[in-house]
Structure 1
Amino acid sequence: MVARTELARFLRERRALLRPDAVGLPPGGPRRTPGLRREEVAELANMSVDYYVRLEQARGPHPSARILDALTAALRLDAAERLHLFRLAGASPTPPAGPVRRVRPYVSALLHRMPEAAAVVTDAGYDVIGWNPLAAALLGDLRAHPNLARRRFLGEAPIASSAYEEFGAVAVSRLRAAAVRYPRDRRLGSLLAELHAGSEEFRQIWASDPVRSPGHRVKTIDHPSAGRLRLNCDVLAVPDDDQQVVFVTADPGSRTARAFKALA
C-alpha cells in the first residue's frame, strides 16, 4: 500500500507542475489549483479518466509498462523521473522509446552566455539539436547537415580536422551505447543502417567495439574562410537527457581567438 501511496503522490505532484500551454492544451478557463486537470492528463495518456483518478487516489491496479510509458509522455518526465515512476509502480523499466531531442531552456540559455565559445548540444544519436551563432559560423549549415556522425563518416559538410580519426571511435562508442538504450527508435536505426551501408570505415570501427569517453581534446581544423584554427574542445554531459554540450574555445590572444571574433 505504501508504494501505491507514493505513486499517487508522485503523479499528483507532477501534474501540479505542468501548465496547459506547456503540453499543447488550451487554458480552459480559471483553475482552482495549479497544473493540469486529471481529465487532461488522462486525455494526454490516452486512458480513461476513472482509471487515472484511481491511480492518483492509490486505488488502482498496478499499472502496466505501457500505461507507465503513456504517463511518462503525458507528464513530460525526464529519464530520471521515468525510472522513479517505474520503481514506484514496482515495474521493470522498458527501454525508452528514443533519445530526448529537445533542449532544456537552461541548457539553451547556457549556449548564449559564452559568446567567445562555439557551443552545440547533441542528442544520443549525434544530431545537433541546439547551437549558438559562433558554432554555426564555425561548423557551417547545421540545419541542413545536423548530424555529426553523418558529417564524419559520409562526408556531409566536411571540415578537415586533425582529430577526425579519434572522433570516429568516440562517435561509434556513443552510437553503440545509444543502440542498446533505444532499440525501438526508428530514427536512430535508420542512421545506423545508413552509416553501415555508406562507410567501410564505420563498419570497421563498429566491429572493433571501441570504448571511448568524452573529455578535453585539442583539434586543428582547416576552416574555409578563417584558415587553420587550433581548437580546445570540452564536453559537458546532460545525463538526465542523454545529451552532451560541446564547447569549442580558443587560447586567449591566439590567432584562432582573433578568428573567432571575426567569425562571430
Structure 2
Amino acid sequence: MALTELGRFLRDRREALRPVDAGLPTGPRRKTPGLRREEVAGLASMSVEYYARLEQARGPRPSRSVLDALTAALRLDPAERAHLFRLAGTTPAAPPGPSRTARPHVAALLHRLPDAAAVVTSAGYDVIAWNPLAAALLTDLATEPNLARRRFLRTTMASTGAEEFGHIAVGRLRAAADRYPHDERLNALLADLRASAEFRHIWDLNPVRAPGHRSKTFEHPRVGPLHLDCDVLEVPDDEQQVVFITAAPGSPSSRALRELAT
C-alpha cells in the first residue's frame, strides 16, 4: 500500500510541476499536464524505466540517494520531502545546512503589515527577508543581516531585554549547530561569536529558552527610545522564525514607528 501511495504522490507532483519551474524549456504545446516521465528521470539521473516502475509501484523501495534525487527533480519543499521519505519507509537524513531562503508567501506577508516591523530569520539568525519598516528600525540590515552578530559583536542600538535575547539566541544556535554540524557558514558564524566573552559564557550555560512574546525598549539613533513588543511565529518546516515588532496603538512609540515608515 505504501509503495502505491508513493507512486501516486510522484505522479501527482510530476503532473503539477511546470516545465519552467523545473528549469526546462516550455517547448510546443503539451498533451499532458506537468512534466513527462522521461523529463523527471533525466532530472533525477535515473532511467525512465526505473522511474516508471516507481510510479507504478512495481519496483523495490528506493534508497535515500534516489529519494534525494527525486526531491531535487520534483522541487519538493521540506514538508513534501519528509512525506516522500515516509511513504518510502525511510527516515530522511538531515539537510546539510539550514534553509536560508524565505518562502515567497512568507516574504510577501511582511509587506502586508505596514504598522509592524517584520523580519524572517534562519536557524542561524540570518535575516533573510524584511519589510521597509524593519530596515528603518534595525538600520543597516544590508550591511550586517545576522542578529546574533549584531547582538554580541556590535553595539549599534542599545535595548533593554538584550540579555534575555542573548540566551534565546544562543539556545537556538546550539540547536542549529547540533543539527547542522558540517554547515560552513554556521560554523564560521559560531567562530566569530566566540570572540565575545558574553557569548562564550552563555554557551557554556546551555540555555533553553522558547521564543514568544517579549517587550523591549530600543534606543533608536533617529527617533530615540521606543517601547516595543516582539512576537515570534515559527515556520517549522524551514526552521525559520517570523518576528513581528509593534508598538501599542496611539502610543508615542507607535507615532515614532510611523515616522520611521515615512
Q: TM (normalized to structure 2)? A: 0.93
Structure 2 counterparts to residues 129-148 of structure 1, below 5 A? 129-148=128-147
Distance, in Å, in 2 between the alignment partners of 1:21 and 1:50 is 24
> CA 1:177 to 1:151, structure 2 compared with 1: closer, same or farther past 3 Å?
same
Structure 2 counterparts to residues 46-61 of structure 1, below 5 A? 46-61=45-60
CA apart distance, 1:25: 2.6
Q: TM (normalized to structure 1)? A: 0.92
Q: Which of 202, 207, 211 pairs up with 2:204?
A: 207
**3-state SS of the aligned residue for 2:32?**
coil
Instruction: State yes or no: 1:246 paired with 2:243.
Output: yes
> CA 1:250 to 1:171, structure 2 compared with 1: closer, same or farther past 3 Å?
same
Matched with 1:237 is 234
Distance, in Å, in 2 between the alignment partners of 1:18 and 1:97 is 25
| Deviations, residues 64-87 of structure 1 (Å, cap 9, x unaligned) | 112212222222222222222111
| Percent of residue pairs identical | 68
Distance, in Å, in 2 between the alignment partners of 1:66 and 1:41 is 15
**3-state SS of the aligned residue for 1:40?**
helix
Question: Structure 1, unaligned stretches of length 5 or more?
Answer: none
> CA 1:40 to 1:147, structure 2 compared with 1: closer, same or farther past 3 Å?
farther
User: Which letter maps to 1:65?
Assistant: R
Matched with 2:169 is 171
Structure 2 counterparts to residues 4-153 of structure 1, below 5 A? 4-153=3-152
Distance, in Å, in 2 between the alignment partners of 1:141 and 1:179 is 26
**3-state SS of the aligned residue for 1:46?**
coil
C-alpha contact 1:95 1:183 (8 A) present in aligned 2: no
CA apart distance, 1:149: 1.0
User: Which letter maps to 1:16?
Assistant: E
CA apart distance, 1:114: 0.9
> CA 1:121 to 1:74, structure 2 compared with 1: closer, same or farther past 3 Å?
same
* CA-atom RMSD in angstroms: 1.7
CA apart distance, 1:115: 0.2
User: Which letter maps to 1:68?
Assistant: L
CA apart distance, 1:102: 2.0
CA apart distance, 1:257: 0.9
Aligned residues: 261
Distance, in Å, in 1 between the alignment partners of 2:46 and 2:156 is 48
| Deviations, residues 145-180 of structure 1 (Å, cap 9, x unaligned) | 11111111221x731111111111101111111222
Distance, in Å, in 1 between the alignment partners of 2:144 and 2:39 is 38
Matched with 2:259 is 262
Q: Bigger shift: 228-237 or 53-62?
A: 53-62
